[in-house]
Chains A and B, each alone.
Chain A
């Protein structure tokens, strides 16, 4: 954790959304709304608050993400840690997720940066690779069933 971030990688996803920042902020910070698009959670928009995201457990992944709120700047910036939990925590994923809302002509540019992926996260790799593959696959099935 005290190692410099030199060898880490970030993942950025951004998209312009035709909605006011206040509305997007609600979707990012109100627990029941977060659950609708991300995962079950006990999030509170309070710096220092510790919370979890919970997905259905699967082999090699307990489904739990340990988080702590790092930055709350209403309608502009939200940041929380996103770490492996339980047995996987020691050698597991230690990342930070930062949301930035930038007003544009047509709405808001929503930017998500997940930083801190280390090549040496090998224990996590197995869990993440397998877990997310299953996870994304599961989501596709759910989404297909909705249409």
Chain B
């Protein structure tokens, strides 16, 4: 149960990996080579990062001939959004209670 969000948070904690993911979100499908040209790290390093991103459900790969094309899976971020919305639910609940208190309070 916890391995999915765990993996996701570890994956996004790395700035290089985050940058690769952001580029795929922004610019669409790309090959490892194209990503390497702008990542500032070696091709094996980029491949390794992509492997981790794939494991976390953040990218998808599509082999074509001798190269592999990668694209982003933004819905892989859902656990992060769930996490934020839990806090949202917490505070909205507290706002309800604050209002109820204000209605009970004298001036």
Complex Cα–Cα for A28 and B90 (A): 16
- Asked whether A23 lies within 8 Å of B83 as measured between CB atoms, the reply is no
Q: Which residue of A lies closest to B12 (CB)?
A: A119
Complex Cα–Cα for A36 and B102 (A): 10
- Known interface pairs A36-B97, A37-B97, A110-B95. Does A132 touch B90 (Cβ–Cβ under 8 Å)? yes
Complex Cα–Cα for A125 and B83 (A): 7
- Asked whether A132 lies within 8 Å of B99 as measured between CB atoms, the reply is no
Number of interface residues of B (CB under 8 A): 30
Contact partner, A119, options B13, B86, B90, B93, Cβ 8 Å: B13
Q: Which residue of A lies closest to B93 (CB)?
A: A139
Question: Range of interface residues on chain A?
Answer: 20 to 34
- Asked whether B90 lies within 8 Å of A117 as measured between CB atoms, the reply is no
Complex Cα–Cα for A9 and B12 (A): 14
> From residue 1 to 55 of chain B, which have CB atoms closer than 8 A to chain A?
2, 5-6, 9-10, 12-13, 18
* Distance from A27 Cβ to chain B, minimum over Cβ atoms (Å): 6
Interface string of A74-118 (1 = CB under 8 A from B): 000000000000000000000000000000000000101010010
- Say what secondary structure dominates the interface of chain B: helix
Complex Cα–Cα for A139 and B94 (A): 10
- Asked whether B95 lies within 8 Å of A15 as measured between CB atoms, the reply is yes
- Known interface pairs A27-B102, A37-B100. Does A128 touch B86 (Cβ–Cβ under 8 Å)? yes
**Residue B68 lies at the interface, judged by CB distance under 8 Å to chain A:** no
Contact partner, A24, options B12, B18, B102, Cβ 8 Å: B102
**Residue A135 lies at the interface, judged by CB distance under 8 Å to chain B:** yes
**Residue A46 lies at the interface, judged by CB distance under 8 Å to chain B:** no
Complex Cα–Cα for A135 and B82 (A): 15
**Residue A70 lies at the interface, judged by CB distance under 8 Å to chain B:** no
- In addition to A27-B105, A122-B5, 4 A-B residue pairs with Cβ atoms within 8 Å of each other are A7-B18, A112-B91, A119-B80, A133-B86
A interface residues with partner B (beta carbon < 8 Å): 7, 9, 11, 13, 15, 17, 19-20, 23-24, 26-27, 33, 36-38, 110, 112, 114, 117, 119-122, 125-126, 128-129, 132-133, 135-136, 139
